[in-house]
Amino acid sequence: MSVSCHQIRGNFMTSRRILTFAGILAALLAFALPATGARAADKLKLVATVSMIGDAVTAIAGDRAEITTLMGEGVDPHLYRQTQSDIAAMVRADAVFWNGLYLEAQLEEFLEKLAGRKPVYAIGEAVPDNERIASITYTDRYDPHIWMTPELWHYAVKAARDSLIELDPEGADIYKTNTEAYLNEMKELATFARRSLETVPQDKRVLVTAHDAFGYFGRTYDFEVVGIQGLSTESEAGLQRVDEIVSLIVDRNIRAIFVETSVPERNVRALIEGAAARGHAVVVGGQLFSDAMGSAGTYTGTYIGMIDSNVTVITNALGGTTPVDGLNGKLVGS
Ligand SMILES: [Zn+2]
């Protein structure tokens, strides 16, 4: 079992993802820039792709690093393409942290090139193979949504810690202490999640969401999960898929389904209309944070808040009981 940080694997990039000419030009120009001023104030300059990684790296690094997170509230990492300012930030950074497992599909080619020049850590790939869910569509690919349970995300958090120690051994003690505190919070969250979700009656444990982001969640907490779109939002759901799920909603008497902050609601609305046409009322049970945290500076704009919100919303919408203000009493109005 390997929990070490993986640098980007170099063997599976294909020509499928082609940067635009302008993008290549911008990247080349950025590469050509001298690395002046890269260590302002002696702090490490780090870039994180998704906000969940930004949250972990920020917590672990404390004030020894300045972290730039590329994707904020509501941004879909499956579709996200780097901007010129992202390229500039990554080229100037001392290291880049990303999830990998094909989450940031459009960034992969750029990150692979960058990995030849500086540390680029795919911390999601620290999850051991035997704990990953394999993609049913592609061989050698896995479900990338490993942050959805603290039980799995801890691998990535520890990988982030080890990467920081590798980058900056002088800060090792601080990184270890900060990681310990962060993992302790995650442990509390994991206990809360289990206790809350256990209250959902067995026959109500079907989680219908906009895309297949909840596979690990379902496996960990014993829910059947149904995503309208697949593991990635890159391919659109067909009418047949929508019809199949409408039938499932009607047949299983499902009363609540969920929208996601990083995916348009139209497919979920189509299910509600499809069920209504068959005389079955189903409502939006709430909004889930699947691939992005809430807005920066709010409680749901933290990893703990994001998962707390998902657990609380799902539990209460599907017939379980848990306080509506969540684990830390911070959810209402956040
Ligand atoms: Zn996703």
Q: What per-residue confidence (pLDDT) applies to 16? A: 38
Q: What per-residue confidence (pLDDT) applies to 4? A: 38
| Same domain, residue pair 162 and 298 | no
201, pLDDT greater than 90 = yes
| Same domain, residue pair 186 and 213 | no
Pairing of strands 120-122, 6-7: antiparallel
The Å distance, Cα 213 to ligand 1 centre, comes to: 5
Encoding tokens for residue 281? 């009322």
The C-alpha atoms of residue 134 and residue 126 are separated, in whole angstroms, by 15
Which ranges of 226-265 does DSSP label H, i.e. alpha helix? 239-251
Q: Residue 247: give the domain boundaries.
A: 195-317
Best CA proximity match to 133, nearest among 152, 150, 109: 152
| Same domain, residue pair 125 and 30 | yes
Domain membership of residue 224 (yes or no) is yes
Contacts of 42 (CB under 8 A, 6+ apart): none
The Å distance, Cα 78 to ligand 1 centre, comes to: 6
Q: pLDDT for 241-293, tens place per residue?
A: 999 999 999 999 999 999 999 999 999 999 999 999 999 999 999 999 999 99
The Å distance, Cα 9 to ligand 1 centre, comes to: 21
Residue with tokens 């998902």: 310
CA distances from 83 to 71, 90, 157, 208 (A): 11, 11, 26, 33
Q: What percent of the chain has pLDDT over 90?
A: 83
Q: What per-residue confidence (pLDDT) applies to 136? A: 85
Q: What percent of the chain has pLDDT over 70?
A: 87
7, pLDDT greater than 80 = no
Q: What per-residue confidence (pLDDT) applies to 5? A: 38
Chain CA centroid to CA 329, Å:
24
Q: pLDDT for 106-122, tens place per residue?
A: 999 999 999 999 999 99
Least confident window among 39-53, 170-184, 311-325: 39-53
Domain membership of residue 331 (yes or no) is no
Confidence at 125, pLDDT banded by 50, 70, 90:
very high
41, pLDDT greater than 70 = no
| Same domain, residue pair 68 and 160 | yes
The Å distance, Cα 145 to ligand 1 centre, comes to: 6
| Same domain, residue pair 156 and 244 | no
Q: pLDDT for 72-82, tens place per residue?
A: 999 999 999 99
| Same domain, residue pair 260 and 175 | no
The Å distance, Cα 230 to ligand 1 centre, comes to: 8
Residue 81's CATH number: 3.40.50.1980
| Same domain, residue pair 22 and 123 | yes
Q: Count Cβ neighbours within 10 Å for each residue of 33-50 and write b for 16 or more, e otherwise.
A: eeeeeeeeeeebbbbbbb
